[in-house]
Amino acid sequence: MKLGFLTACLPGRSLAEIVGWAATNGFEALEVAAWPALGDRPFTASHIDVDDLDRGGAERILALFDRPGLTLSSLAFYDNNLHPDPDERAAINRHVQACIDAAALLGCPTVGTFLGRDPGKPVAENLREAEKVFPPLVDRAGERGVKLIIENCVMEGWHPDGYPGNLAYSPELWEWMFSLGLYLNYDPSHLVWMGIDPVAALRPYVDRVAHAQAKDIELFPEKRTRYGWPGRAVERPDAWDVGWWRYRVPGLGQVDWRRLVDTLYEGGFDGVLSVEHEDPVWGGTEERIETGLRVAHRTLRPLIVA
């Protein structure tokens, strides 16, 4: 197992700068943000332009990683592949295809994305839509030696009432998506606030985890008593502010990382555990983000066999 991080937390830095910092600070891998260049959504970045990547560009990127001995673990483009607007959905699906092609050029084993959801339709109808959208993407990935991985993020901010906006939030849905040939980019933090034990949920499915993310979470039960599970309702100017929990870097929340890493090892996982830094306490400036990444490294490094 190797320890890495998702580059989206440093959107203003070049890939070369991030590679240098990661190697200097003891990380072994990077999950590289590959969103389209346009847009200003939070926690996204464009550190590899997959649309214009050719063999020469791929060789330059690989040389960048080879010098310090880092692993390029995944290309990250997390967006709504079931978007209700057909043109937007088609554009997102095309970008996933471009990420798959780029991953093949780079020898990168995985491409990460979301299932997503049309919030105007019930879950059952969305699943039938996904059964049309994803098989061509899975086939394209398989032909190029790449695994398409889905993060189990709830994406509650995509739904007008704070309900799940990405239909990969529970083991029941994992089993369904595995039947489509998809793999899991496992993140324990999302399970905690949904009331699911992240270790018990993981144990039967380690063989379908092609990549894992390390993000922690801090719960405030007294606030949940006021708002309920979906979060703030009367006043919620920020769709992502549920009001009773927040993400933290590993070691500052309630995930039991010792048990979780042990479960990954016991199940035979030998991939990358990638820190996804969305901690508001250690955010805001690049210096604070770096500190947050160091806290995560200090927490996880002793648990991972070098």
Interval 184-243: pLDDT, tens: 999 999 999 999 999 999 999 999 999 999 999 999 999 999 999 999 999 999 999 999
- Read off the DSSP letter of residue 115: -
Contact 75, 108 (CB under 8 A): yes
Tell me the C-alpha distance between 7 and 178, whole Å: 27
Largest CA distance in the chain: 56
Question: Residue 42 above 80 pLDDT?
Answer: no
Element (H, E) at 44: none
Per-residue model confidence (pLDDT) at position 41: 74
Per-residue model confidence (pLDDT) at position 103: 98
CATH of the domain at 261: 3.20.20.150
Question: Residue 40 above 70 pLDDT?
Answer: no
How many domains is the chain partitioned into structurally? 1
Give the pLDDT mean for 278-306: 96
Per-residue model confidence (pLDDT) at position 209: 98
Tell me the C-alpha distance between 206 and 23, whole Å: 28
What values do phi and psi take at 184, rounded to 5?
-110, 130
Report residue 192 as tokens: 């905690």
The fraction of the chain above a pLDDT of 90, given in percent, is 97
CA torsion sign, 34 to 137 to 166 to 251?
negative
Which residue has better confidence, 31 or 43?
31
Per-residue model confidence (pLDDT) at position 286: 97
Report residue 12 as tokens: 């203003």
For residue 29, the enclosing domain spans 2-303
pLDDT tens, residue by residue, 242-260: 999 999 999 999 999 999 9
Report residue 87 as tokens: 């043109």
CA atoms within 13 A on the CB side of 284: 4
Per-residue model confidence (pLDDT) at position 25: 98
pLDDT tens, residue by residue, 76-121: 999 999 999 999 999 999 999 999 999 999 999 999 999 999 999 9
Give the pLDDT mean for 27-39: 92
Per-residue model confidence (pLDDT) at position 39: 66
